Every structure is written in structure tokens, then in C-alpha cells.
Chains A and B, each alone.
Chain A
């Protein structure tokens, strides 16, 4: 079975500061990993995905994430936060060979302070 753990249910950063949202996964086989963003009253938007190609993955809106097998981590970063980045961020995992079921973390609410 696969699972993800997101450390920190709430993260606050100042505008222009580095954003770091943490995600650790547990999987018995090589996983596929994703970050989704949910803006208030909206659906889930795919930010980026890791599917066993490059370990550093670039996504939309300047976000990127690095897959580190030794640390079982897939942390999301952005060099400089913008007010529009305020949202809830979900890490998710799935396994190859399944029916592509996604298992989500509990989410991290990002607040960007002016």
C-alpha cells in the first residue's frame, strides 16, 4: 500500500521568500508522485508530476519538486512566493500497475504574507 505524509498543515511565508512544502511517501514499489493545488472554492489543479524520468521536476507557476529516493521525499519548492500562491497544496502518490488510484496527503495550507 502507498501513502504520503505532508509535514505542516499550515505554512506561512512572506512575499518574495522561499516556499518549501514537505512531502514524504511510503511505497513498496517505485511510486509516481504528484503535487496538486486547490485554490479557494475550486477544484484540484495538477502542478507537477514525477514519473521516474528526471528527479527534478518543474511545474507550472514556477514550482518545482525533487524526488529523493534515499529520503523518500518529494518536497515542493518555489524560490520566490507570490500572493497568488496562497492555496492548499496536496501531495499524492500512485503505483504503476494499478488503476491509477491516487492517494492524497492531508494537505498544506500556504499563506503568503505581504
Chain B
């Protein structure tokens, strides 16, 4: 069964450092997303990406964040200068092409710990 894969599963970084979280979406999907879940809180939408550009982004997704699809398979989230409050589980998701709402398929997540 196709799945979304994320690497690494856990990353520890020092405050102020840059991190890149990586995702390989399901191959025939065209919509890609990043969500995050701070411990004990709701899953929050960060950004959606379609046709090589950002479709929507939330207030959380400020200038410290960026996304990229560097090749035909990877989808990355970069945090330029991490803060303690960026510590969270980050989920990548993807969904099928135009024509229907099928829900999004999520990866296992990357637990980011900023120290």
C-alpha cells in the first residue's frame, strides 16, 4: 500500500540552527501539506503546496518557514532559525489530484526537539 514517508523520525537541534524535514509523498498525489502538533495540542495546518507553489498557509507559517519540492519525489520543510517553540511533531501529508476530496494521507511524523 502506498504511503507517505518522512525522515528523520526524530531530530534534535540547537536554537537558532536551520533544520530541513524531508517527506516523500504518495507518487500520484499532487497536493502536499505540512502540519504540526505541539505536545498535548491540536494538529495545526502549516502550508499546502500545489503545482510547485504554495496554495495556502497559516499564520504559523512565517518567514522562518519555507517549503520546496526539489525533485519529482521529495517535499521539504525548512525552518531557517529554530526557536524553542518550534518543538513539535511535524506531519507531512499528500492527497490526490483534482476532482474530489479524499482526505489526506499522513506520514509517521518527525519529532523536532529544539534545545
B48 touches A99 (CB 8 A): yes
Q: Enumerate chain A residues within 8 angstroms of B104, measured Cβ to Cβ.
A: 46, 100, 102
Q: Enumerate chain B residues within 8 angstroms of A101, measured Cβ to Cβ.
A: 33, 45, 48, 56
Interface size on B, residues (CB 8 A): 27
Residue B60 interfacial (CB < 8 Å) = no
Interface size on A, residues (CB 8 A): 24
Give Cα A49–Cα B96 distance, bound, in whole angstroms: 14
The A/B interface has a contact count, at CB < 8 Å, of 65
A44 touches B33 (CB 8 A): no
Give Cα A67–Cα B91 distance, bound, in whole angstroms: 27
Q: A101-B56, A104-B42 are in contact. Are A94 and B106 (CB under 8 A)?
A: no
Nearest residue in A to B107 (C-beta to C-beta)? A43
Nearest residue in A to B49 (C-beta to C-beta)? A99
| Per-residue interface assignment for chain B, residues 47 to 90, with 1 indicating a CB less than 8 Å from any chain A CB and 0 otherwise | 01010000110000000000000000000000000000000000
Give Cα A102–Cα B34 distance, bound, in whole angstroms: 11
B103 touches A34 (CB 8 A): yes
15 more CB-based (< 8 A) A-B contacts, given A49-B102, A99-B50, A104-B43:
A32-B103, A43-B4, A43-B106, A46-B103, A46-B104, A46-B105, A90-B43, A98-B56, A100-B33, A100-B104, A102-B35, A102-B43, A102-B103, A103-B45, A105-B42
